[in-house]
Structure 1
């Protein structure tokens, strides 16, 4: 057995992340540098069908402003930088280790597998959202069935989650409310954290390739809380040519289940009887060295589109790094993106977005008090080769401003609009 285990795969990851947010004059600025490293081990197949895996990671706050300090004008703390470490303990600079993967995987048939334990999630709304030091992970039983031609079926039961920006594992109910909770329909601070009762998440997804079409259908059922049905269709003009057109359309419908998570109405995650819907589209053209796309999203006015941010980021085509539209309704968004890759290992991205949201005091449709805004992202990624193979560096510059310069309280501005943010990331995989 020892000889067999030596044939397993060890891998390592070192990561550094510097982030700095420059708010409008008179409001507090924030910055932080996180440094961390981790290691993983995956066994070879045991008894021809079984694989075991384990990984862990530790993070240090090497340098930062006071991430627990409150801005004297707005009483707000760091929104982004604290997420590099532990939201629950902003002053903890060193004890930031986490056991991440710990799973058993059974291979079935020709290409299928069942994975049980702690693992990275892979679905439209429950995903790693890897935009800080460490990703979101789930504790789950996941069946990936790939025995049908051009078709994949995924069925999973999730019973634990360790959200990005935390170091603990939580039950599904406990995980809801680990991030800022926004306000309820009356504008008062939401009270659902620590009060949601659910037995887990049951999720099923079907993906099929049909000539130039790629189709997805997913259903996410959270007993006693909500159900979300999601579909996506993408058409690609060529499967072989490096130059092609792509058109995509997605949509979803959400409804509350039973009491929305709690028998106490003020402690529900979603109001009983509430519904929400959205549609999002993309047109894209890609050719060697270039990619351009135009995107649009509409979240209906029926209600807030809700999905715990602890679980992942929304898959809307108009998503841009450093902001989300989850928690809003009656929202219209447009984005345009361009990517230039002069060589294989270098990418330069420029994106701009227009986001028309309800007024910050329309609490029924604006959970987090986010003003309507415009956003510009400029980023670049370079992957080293040769002696430094495994090293990649990323830079991301973000600017967000309010639409039409409305006169609003600074508490709706700090860390949301009238801000510039710099991100500098380095990863070394070995």
Structure 2
């Protein structure tokens, strides 16, 4: 295994040195999981014609993942293969119907249900390629993903049912086999020049690495729950009540080179989160720009945070948290270099269900998160190269994440020590005869720089570890 990792690391670094986008999709982007074609057809004269003139799209994926932990701790690997199709009708009196489904097969992996004997902890990464609720399931892995009715009006639309979303707090998440999806009502309003408005009410969520949709309260706690602020094991899984999530988002680009973003997410009976972000590009010349960014998030508990019993609640009663961060960078047509910083204050833990999406922070790096922590200082630098044809991307990133002591439970939910993380990634879209195929290689290493008190539970699958991913996609 060590020889295998050494060869892969050497290959990655050689390619990066020659060419020196992220595997995940940026949460500011419209979801493009299926790569479906835009539908410009006029209204059909019948429902039959709307179906006959609809669009089919498909996605097949192979995913290899392996994790190498410290010596004496367990290592894992997984091979997953899957595929699915999506169909969306042409417009019929401005209405469209869409449906999609996907299947996954475990084609050769470690025993992902086997716990590490030294820590009694479970596999963390590879199981996410399949079903986290049933790690022994290898073949019966399928789900209906999207099932919606869309109404189009002018430049806007409203969608009801199961669908894909990318917002700052609820999003597709970084790569596994399939993304997080939602059930609800979503409105895209594009009637004001250079302004996008989103309104939503969500009543169901199908988290990444699961096979069905859950009610909002039921969806929280499927992943690791960590500990309560007093250090006792969190018991909110299956004990949270919520009528749903209400979301308002506004994006404005009326000022040249400036994008302002405002999101407010009201998770009924749980918590409220508000985000404000501004990103500005200053033109140095015709070929290069300076990048500036600022972001802040404020959260507060609603009622009892999900349950009147403090040991079973998600967000501590009267609790709140605040984060702020910034980004400075330089960009031309091929290279982008950024330096990012994020601070979660000591006011309280930043909490956002990991089942719903990944962190919106500038300092986010795939394969780790800063959700569940307070009193955090994070700094990350990244260099990214994109070739002129935009068929090849690579990036090299390094981040330092100063977290509270692992025994400061009120600010460290998951017992995570401070760490340094490095990511190296390459991505290539094939052309010609192989058009539609793309390949990705991501290598991650996390170094421990915090006190672990000799307890390997603070190390296993957290720090002093490597994670490698190879993904091969075909979209049509």
Question: Under a length normalisation based on structure 2, what TM-score does the superposition of the two structures give?
Answer: 0.88
How many residues were matched structurally?
428
Please state how far the C-alpha of 1:408 moved relative to its aligned partner.
Answer: 3.5
Aligned match of 2:447 in 385, 398, 401?
401
Change (3 A) 1:199 1:241: farther
The residue correspondences of 1:258-269 to structure 2 (distance < 5 A) are: 258-269=303-314
Summarize the Cα distance change of 1:405–1:277 in structure 2 as closer, same or farther, 3 Å threshold: closer
Task: Tell me which residue corresponds to 2:245.
Answer: 201
1:275 aligns with 2:303: no
Aligned counterparts of 2:220 and 2:210: Cα–Cα separation in 1: 13
| Residue matched to 1:358 | 404
Counterpart of 1:297 in structure 2 is: 342
Alignment of 1:74-93 (within 5 A): 74-93=119-138
1:152 Cα deviation from its structure 2 partner: 1.1
Contact 2:374 2:412 survives alignment (8 Å): yes
Name the CA distance, whole Å, in 1 between partners of 2:409 and 2:220: 20
Report SS of the residue matched to 1:295: strand
Q: Partners of 1:350 and 1:183 in 2: how far apart?
A: 33
Using the alignment, how far apart are the partners of 2:450 and 2:178 within structure 1? 36
Backbone CA RMSD of aligned residues: 1.3
CA distance in structure 2 between the partners assigned to 1:239 and 1:150 by the alignment:
24
Match of 1:389 in 2: 435
Q: Does the 8 Å contact 2:337/2:383 carry over to 1?
A: yes
> Does residue 37 in structure 1 map to residue 103 in structure 2?
no
Shift of 1:190: 0.4
- Residue 112 of structure 2 corresponds to which residue in structure 1? 67
- Aligned counterparts of 2:257 and 2:104: Cα–Cα separation in 1: 44
Q: Is the 8 A contact 1:130 1:136 kept in 2?
A: no
Partner in structure 2 of residue 311 of structure 1 = 356
CA contact (8 A) 1:79 1:415 kept: yes
Among 97, 114, 120, the alignment partner of 2:142 is: 97
Q: Distance in 2 between matches of 1:279 and 1:106?
A: 37
Which deviates more from structure 2 when the two are superposed, residues 145-154 or residues 397-406? 397-406
- Following TM superposition, by how much is the alpha carbon of 1:63 offset from its aligned partner in structure 2, in angstroms? 1.0
Q: Which residue of 1 aligns with 2:206?
A: 162
2:43 aligned with 1:10: no
1:421 aligns with 2:470: no
Q: 2:392 aligns with which of 335, 340, 346?
A: 346
Q: Which range moves more in the overlay, 341-350 or 149-158?
A: 341-350
Deviation per CA, 1:294-319: give whole Å up to 9, x if none.
00000000010000000001110000
Checking the alignment, whether the CA contact within 8 Å between 1:257 and 1:272 is kept in structure 2 is yes
**Change in 2 beyond 3 A, CA 1:96/1:123:** same
The offset of 1:405, in angstroms, is 6.7
Q: Provide the rounded CA distance (Å) in 1 between the counterparts of 2:156 and 2:232.
A: 48
Mapped to 1, the partners of 2:451 and 2:421 lie a distance apart of 14
Distance 1:193 1:175 in 2: 8
CA contact (8 A) 1:130 1:164 kept: no
